[in-house]
Amino acid sequence: MTIPEVPPRPPFGHNLWRLRRYVRPYTGQLGWLLVVAFAATGASLAVPLIIRQVIDGPIANRDPGGLYRLGVLALLLGLAEAVLIFVRRWVQSSTALAIESAIRDDIYAHLQRLHVGFHDRWQSGQLLSRATADLSVIRRFLSFGLLFLIVNTATYLAVVGLLIHLYWPLGLLVAASAVPLFTVSRRFTRSYLAASRQMQDEQGDLTTLIEESTQGLRTIKSFGRRPEMAHRFAVRARQLHDTATGKGRLIARTSAEFDLVPNLTLAVVLVAGAPAVAYGKLTIGELVAFVTLQLMLIWPIESLGWIIANGQEAVTAADRIQEVLDTAPTIVDRPHAVPLRRAAVHGDLRFERVTFGYPGLARPVLHEVTLAVRPGETMAIVGATGSGKTTLLSLVPRLYDVDAGRISLDGQDIRDLQLAGLRRVVGVAFEEPTLFSMSVRENLTLGRPDADDDAIRDALAVAQADFVYGLPWGLETRVGEQGLSLSGGQRQRLALARAVLGQPGVLVLDDPLSALDVHTEALVEAALSRVLRDTTALLVVHRPSTVALADRVALLADGRITAVGTHSELLATVPDYRAVLSATEAADTSARAGEPDAAGLTGESDASGLIRS
Ligand SMILES: Nc1ncnc2c1ncn2[C@@H]1O[C@H](COP(=O)(O)OP(=O)(O)OP(=O)(O)O)[C@@H](O)[C@H]1O
């Protein structure tokens, strides 16, 4: 299952209709657009009527002056139509682009607001395709599909009215051709909707695959998995290709059927029109005007297949977009949440019978965790892999909310604090450091845009990340996508500097030194210990050397705190603690031995691929 939490299918077109709030600011432009489009259509409809007058008047009466006047009139109408079409296309594309970007801004802002749990479950490719491909479909619908639906329907009605006015028996015959058109449209609408949704979902899956493969290119190459990935891609691409081809076939068949109707009607009109002229029921000019007008119906009818297809795609695109926009963020400010200022924070952090589980998991990851970290204290969390250490830490900045119990800061439930304030006060660095394709400075000041150069220098010194000053453009050097132009240790130290920048009230560090060599680790620990003196800190650690940074240690086993005490107390009295530390140390030693890059993480800059910001 690639798209979780999909709500029941809404009534047809309901979600597209809901997007009208984005159209509302442009009703003036759209009104003018319709006026201009109708005027252009009126100009083109007038031409056959002039032709009738030319044939039945100046040509029949051999009147060159009349011919000249009508010719000039036809020319002026042609020119007016050309100008009107230019204005229409210009207004329609600028309006549709403005609407598209307003929707895209809202999708982006909403994705940022949505809780981490949402992003855990949704594939990024699906979100990407909704914010790009689906939005383009909506734009095409607003700029072409909807406009042509209105203009072509009006043209059809106007032409049929004129035809009935010119010669009603044949006019009614043309009007009756709407019946087969209606039947074909209904059948097409039903089958196209499913195909279009399937194709848009498959596009999302393929986008995810491409995104994953480019992000994981190093892993794929180093494991020699290129053929397998290429095969997976080929299977998905073939699936999408087949769905798209099926859709194309459906459009082709329907277009042919649509095409057949006006052409058959035209043949009948020509066959029946000649006797009508012979018996004096129609003039030659009227028959020519009739046929010319009828030819003008071919495009509106032919385009009907495309318009319906575009409308259907817009309906499914709107459904897919609203699935995202309708997901409410679950981690938000409570109604009476209070602001939090760094200066007012003492740093008394408590977990009180905290239970938490990820949605979809059979049992909670954390069970009734109770832990008190005193102001200014550094508490290390030690536990076997998968015991819930990262999960415990991610509850502090409210990346997830507890299922039961509470976490308090200075006695106040963190859910009663304003989120923005809480996240400003809590400095975080996770084991997998995330950097963005921005300058080093922008990456560092992500949470504290007002930090000055001195604060940045101090933070870099704590993280032993002075290597940034040796980069080609120093702090202004742009690190490549996800910081991949830096080594793992460099990325980790930048993430640590970002966390300690601005002296946060609570510091949450998830194994922040795991990618460092022993020498750099010792330097970072020495500098970090000075920062930790003044701040409350929760520190996931694996190595005994890093545990030494902590005042006390909590042992987490299978989501429960089983022991709390100083490192030496636990070493002396808790066999499980000794076992966890020696197991992680053994794993760590072998990982370091097998890591050719370790020496390269000490601080020299790997500037390849770096560009100036
Ligand atoms: N986003 C998630 N969705 C569902 N389950 C998750 C998610 N993140 C972690 N888990 C599960 O929760 C459990 C605890 O994971 P967590 O990452 O907190 O452990 P950890 O002690 O930090 O492990 P490690 O030392 O390997 O980093 C694991 O069983 C993991 O599979």
- pLDDT reported for residue 489: 84
| Predicted local distance difference test score (pLDDT) of residue 404 | 95
Ligand 1: which of 356, 387, 560 to mutate, judged by most atoms within 8 Å of the beta carbon?
387
Using a cut of 0.90, tell me whether the model's pTM lies above it.
Answer: no
From the CA of 455, how far away is ligand 1's center (Å)? 34
Contact 163, 170 (CB under 8 A): yes
User: What local confidence, expressed as pLDDT, does residue 532 receive?
Assistant: 84
CATH topology of domain 345-612: Rossmann fold (3.40.50)
The ligand 1 atom at the shortest distance from the C-alpha of residue 358 is: 4
From the CA of 120, give the closest atom in ligand 1: 1
Sequence-distant (≥ 6) Cβ neighbours of residue 406 within 8 angstroms: 352, 353, 354, 413, 414, 415
Domain boundaries, the chain: 14-325, 345-612
Q: Which among 124, 354, 365, 514 is the best mutation to test ligand 1's pocket, defined by most ligand atoms within 8 Å of the CB?
A: 365
Confidence at residue 413, expressed as pLDDT on a 0 to 100 scale: 96
- Cα–ligand 1 centroid distance for 364 (angstroms): 11
pLDDT, residue 4, reads 55
Taking the centre of ligand 1 as the mean of its atom positions, its distance from the CA of residue 358, in whole angstroms, is 9
Residue type, 147: L
> What does the alpha-carbon distance between residue 387 and residue 174 come to, in Å, rounded to a whole number?
76
- CATH number, span 14-325: 1.20.1560.10
So what's the pLDDT on residue 599? 33
Which is nearest to 82 in space by CA: 51, 45, 39, 40? 40
Going by alpha carbons, the residue nearest to atom 7 of ligand 1 is 358
If you measure from the C-alpha of residue 388 to the centroid of ligand 1, how many angstroms do you get, rounded to a whole number? 6
CA of 247 to the centre of ligand 1 (A): 42
> Which of these, 381, 372, 4, 412, lies nearest to 204 by C-alpha position?
4
d(CA 291, CA 261): 15
> Ligand 1 centre from 389 Cα, in Å?
8
Q: For residue 26, what are its two tokens?
A: 């442009």
Segment holding 543, helix H or strand E = none
Residue 514 C-alpha to ligand 1 middle, in angstroms?
17
Q: Output the pLDDT for position 612.
A: 54
pLDDT at residue 483, as a whole number: 59
User: Which residues contact ligand 1 via a Cβ below 6 A?
Assistant: 120, 358, 361, 365, 383, 385-391
Atom number in ligand 1 closest to CA 388: 18
Nearest Cα neighbor of 321 from 114, 111, 131, 123 is 131
Nearest residue to 3 (alpha-carbon basis) of 192, 235, 204 = 204
DSSP line for 183-208? HHHHHHHHHHHHHHHHHHHHHHHHHH
Instruction: Say which residues have a Cβ less than 8 Å from residue 317's Cβ, sequence separation at least 6.
Output: 130, 133, 134, 135, 137, 138, 141, 200
Candidate of 123, 356, 390, 432 to mutate for ligand 1, largest count of ligand atoms within 8 Å of Cβ: 390
Under-50 pLDDT residues of the chain:
1-2, 594-609
Helix (H, G, I), strand (E, B) or coil at 233: helix
The tokens describing 303, both together, are 């385009």
Q: Say what the ipTM of the complex is.
A: 0.96
